[in-house]
Structure 1
Amino acid sequence: MRKIVLFTFLISLFSCKEQKVNQDIKPIQAKLPTKSFTNVQLREIHSDAISIRAIVLDSNQLWFAGSNGKYGAIDLMTQKMFRGRIAKDTLHPEFRSIAKTKDAVFVLSVANPALLYRISNDKKVVQLVYEEKNEKVFYDSMQFLDDSFGVAMGDPISDCLNIITTTDGGNTWQKIPCEKLPKAGEGEAAFAASNTNVMLRNNKIIIVSGGKKARCFVSEDKGNTWNVYETPIVQGKTMTGIFTADFYDENIGFIAGGDYEKQEDNSNNKAITNDGGKTWQLVGQNTGFGYASCVQFVPNTKGKALVCLGGTGLHYSSDSGKTWKKMLDDKDLYTLRFQNDSVAYAAGKNKIVKLSFQ
């Protein structure tokens, strides 16, 4: 959504620094299948004048895309950095979505014109594979299910969410016609906060919305038919609703968001499902984080452990979101992905960091 602040900066020097935070946080008294985190170490691995809301991990490589046409990759073993920049005529796109197949990385811009680029694994070929011109176009999120099927979604252009798919590994993209999609409500859209509005599990597509409505759209046949389910997340204003979601598997999912204009408000901003998005239950009322930018399940925890970034810092839960512990005050991290069950990478305003949970 356009109202999230964009950043335009000058290039700054690469830096790498480490700090240990919250060493004295007591363990959360909840039973985990594996272990409960008590602190986190943060190490900055990249610094630049860039706003990053889209990262993807590929083995020992982290790809990122952000503001001012910038994208790049970091070798997580050697710290070797690759930087690129895309221009279309005089435009340097704002990238908020990124996705990976075995052959290439795809980056998708917000706003008009929407530009979707394919970047070869060797980083030598950058190809525009989809372009959409419309004064209302604004893409929020993109994911691949496998090396063939991918989905990107955006705000409504007419009376439905704007959804495109690929079945050939991202070489070509097709728009799902509005007559095959559920009607969007008045003022219903999405937020390009962390590339977490779309999730693909088996043949299921799960999409979440925000604004004056906060709903969950589910297709169990790769977009041919859809069901829409209500959620209890705060809604009714332009900057309210679901900003982020994650599904541990096909059934267990978590949504978070809130009111972007009331970032400390931690009521009606988090909910969980155990039936694939059909029904949702509020959890963690009046506790934990306020406005949420990105939520992710911790791997290998049977859907019990979660980490959330947002306007009140980084929070951790070991009991399916019922209780939360703040582990970082940093409000400038927007998106996060786990490499394994104790290491994650996060990005945001001018930086990418490694997070080691203990």
Structure 2
Amino acid sequence: MACGAALAALTAVPAQADEERTAPHWELKDSGTTAVRFRGLAAVSRQIAWVSGSAGTVLRTTDGGASWRNVSPPGAEGLQFRDIEAFDARRAVVLAIGEGEASRVYRTEDGGATWTESFRNTDPRAFYDCLTFFDHRHGLALSDPVDGRFRILSTGDGGRSWTVLPNAGMPAAQEGEAGFAASGQCLVASGPKDVWLATGGAARARVLHSADRGLTWTAADSPIPAGDPARGVFALAFRDRTHGLAVGGDYRPDQTSPRAAARTTDRGRTWQPADRPPPAYRSGVAWLPHSRSAALAVGPTGTDLTTDGGRTWRTVDTGSYDTVDCTPDRACWASGEKGRVARLEH
């Protein structure tokens, strides 16, 4: 079945047991490894996807996951590649997270055959978590607070060079507030200038919004619980400049995660809790392609679907995934621990 039809079937509520057995599902693709956790995912199309993760690993497929090529940057074995953004089969930008010089950005223009290190953090107080692009040229990367404010890195040339933006337009951070480098979705963009960042770890879990590519920001409280370094908003997804979703919770497996999802219909100025949230912590979220109301959320204990814009969620899979991404040609991909990579199939 074509993926577009599979997505349409996924949003329908099955009426018969036979229909449930043939419902769309995640089909695991053999990545060739079980030793890497892929928290970074860039889905370009139904055929092309990139994943990045632990041990400095970057993989790429151009045949829908039938085969994967290890295109890891040489000498990066000690790095944690928690986020990757790809423009096509040849061009990608990958972020290594960590304190001080562990935070780096690499860029490739030849499908990963060669990489150029375009940024290495030299401030021991900075810790970069995730990055996003507005288009093929303009992008931002997010660091945890430095001098009491989140730090934003900016590029205007596709990731070839980076500049730290002034922080005068950034609201003060709360005590203990930070971003989560769990799925590459703590910083997301929609349109040419709008960008949102997700926080946790402090008294309140917040979502900050900028309408000028990171120069000035406004902060809004979310209903997702915080108050602990392990709790907050872990991932965001915006289908346009107005409608957004937030997911998170408490990433510790022995802790419950009530109210682990929220939605906005006013560009993130206000957030409403889901009437029926996912049953556990979720680290990744993505709108289904060309849908105004359907989205997927993923986490270590399963995948949940909403068909009403984030008001209610229902579990549709119990496999472990850290992040999810969907493409304009109606494909959805997910990745996570033990080398797990999957594509939505029927």
What range describes the TM-score normalised by the shorter chain of this pair?
Answer: 0.7 to 0.9
Separation in 2, partners of 1:175, 1:151: 9
Q: Retained in 1: the 8 A contact 2:36–2:53?
A: yes
Counterpart-to-counterpart distance in 2, 1:270 and 1:187: 21
Compute the RMSD of aligned alpha carbons: 2.5
Aligned ranges 1:1-358 → 2 under 5 Å: 28=13, 38-48=23-33, 49-59=35-45, 60-77=47-64, 79-88=66-75, 92-101=78-87, 104-112=91-99, 113=101, 114-202=103-191, 203-212=193-202, 213-261=204-252, 265-285=256-276, 287-302=277-292, 304-331=293-320, 333-339=321-327, 343-356=331-344, 358=346
> What does the per-residue CA deviation read over 1:278-324, in whole Å, with 9 as the maximum and x for residues that have no partner?
01101134x5331111011111221x111111132111121223332
Q: 1:323 to 1:196 in 2, by over 3 A?
A: same
User: In the comparison of the two structures, how many residue pairs are matched?
Assistant: 324
- Whether contact under 8 Å (1:233, 1:270) holds in the other structure is yes
**Which structure features the higher share of strand residues?**
1
**Does the aligned pair in 2 maintain the 1:165–1:174 contact within 8 Å?**
yes
Gaps of 5+ in 1: 1-24, 30-36
Give me the whole-angstrom Cα distance separating, in 2, the residues matched to 1:328 and 1:186.
37
Structure 1-normalised TM-score?
A: 0.83
Distance 1:41 1:130 in 2: 35
More helix by share: 2
Percent identity reads: 26
- Normalised to the residue count of structure 2, the TM-score between the two structures is 0.86
* Secondary structure, counterpart of 1:46 in structure 2: coil
Check conservation: 1:289, 1:310, Cα contact below 8 A: no
C-alpha distance 80-260 of structure 1, shift in aligned 2 (>3 A): closer
Gap change, CA 1:121 and 1:87, over 3 Å in 2: closer
Secondary structure of the equivalent of 1:68? helix
Question: How far 1:72 sits from its partner (Å)?
Answer: 1.9
- The answer to whether the 8 Å contact 2:73/2:114 transfers is no
User: 1:342 and 1:137 mapped to 2: Cα distance?
Assistant: 37
User: Which residue is 2:18 aligned to?
Assistant: none
